[in-house]
Amino acid sequence: MGKSPAMPDAGGANSGYLVTEDGFTLLLDCGTGVFAELRTVCEPTAVDAILITHMHVDHFADLLPYAHALAYPYGKSAARPRLLLPPGGRELLAKIVELLGIGYPVVGAFEVEEYDPDAVHTAGPLTLRHQEVPHYVRTWACELSGSQGGRFTFGADCAPNDALVKFARDTDLLMLEATEEFAPFVADGDVRGHMTARDAGELARRAGAKRAALTHFSDLLDPQVVRSEGEAGFGAPVELVQAGLRFTV
Ligand SMILES: [Zn+2]
Ligand SMILES: [Zn+2]
């Protein structure tokens, strides 16, 4: 649905990826602009589950208009998608709803649950696993695998780290953020929370990923340089994510 980093691209949406398997549809992250994009490809009621990697606005903000759609235009009879939030996500979402005084039941629009990131669990035919990764708030990478065993691994937002290399070992498709410009943009003493395209490529190479896709990079960056940096790190061609791009795993 979208690959923008925190500042949305011109005409673009933040983090949001639609995963389908055997008629089951899961929306992975739901940042700003994702709901409008979702409506261009399916009914909001066609989504069976929503999985959120971390509670940053560019990954969950459109849960609010999504809830509005389910509460009003689609009516209370609409099926409630499972909303799989990271640990702490339920309380944070409830606080936002309370502070904003939102008059419609955001939390009630979904079957809200917090996933146990240490457990292997399922959503329809998909098997889900999680791995905590270093970012500015607690964040979990995830792996979605299908009934035929194909593995899609999403790194969420993270600095370069070994835990994700191990988690993504030999995955079929590894999608990684490449948010930072072509050098880390931290001042001395700051903790990194993102990767450059080259970092992402190198991480995918170290993990032995069969395919690598870069996402969450700004339209202010030159995509040719994002690609060449990613390929220099990966040692093979990489895909640059854009709205509408499809992968089969
Ligand atoms: Zn983030
Ligand atoms: Zn982000």
In this predicted model, what pLDDT tens digit does every residue of 15-70 receive, in sequence order?
999 999 999 999 999 999 999 999 999 999 999 999 999 999 999 999 999 999 99
Q: Which residues surround ligand 2, an ion (CB under 5 A)?
A: 58, 157
Specify whether the CB–CB gap between 175 and 195 falls below 8 A.
no
Q: Kindly report which listed range (82-91, 145-154, 189-198, 232-241) carries the lowest average pLDDT score.
A: 189-198
Dig out the tokens for 170 from the structure: 């030999």
Burial (0-12, 13-18, 19+ Cβ within 10 Å), 210: middle
Of the bound ligands, which one is closest to the alpha carbon of residue 159?
Answer: 1
> By three-state DSSP, how is residue 134 classified?
coil
What is the predicted pLDDT for the residue at 62? 97
Kindly list the structural domains of the chain, giving each domain's residue range(s) and its CATH number in brackets, ordered by start. Answer: 17-240 (3.60.15.10)
What is the predicted pLDDT for the residue at 72? 85
What is the mean predicted confidence (pLDDT) over 110-116?
A: 95
What is the mean predicted confidence (pLDDT) over 122-150?
A: 97
Dig out the tokens for 213 from the structure: 């896709």
Ligand 2 centroid to Cα of residue 11, in Å, is 17
Sign of the torsion formed by the C-alpha atoms of 46, 30, 129 and 143: positive
What is the predicted pLDDT for the residue at 188? 60
Specify whether the CB–CB gap between 145 and 127 falls below 8 A.
yes
Specify whether the CB–CB gap between 37 and 9 falls below 8 A.
no
pTM (2 decimals)? 0.96
What is the predicted pLDDT for the residue at 189? 64
Ligand 1 centroid to Cα of residue 45, in Å, is 27
What is the predicted pLDDT for the residue at 182? 77
Q: How confident is the model at residue 158 (pLDDT cuts 50, 70, 90)?
A: very high
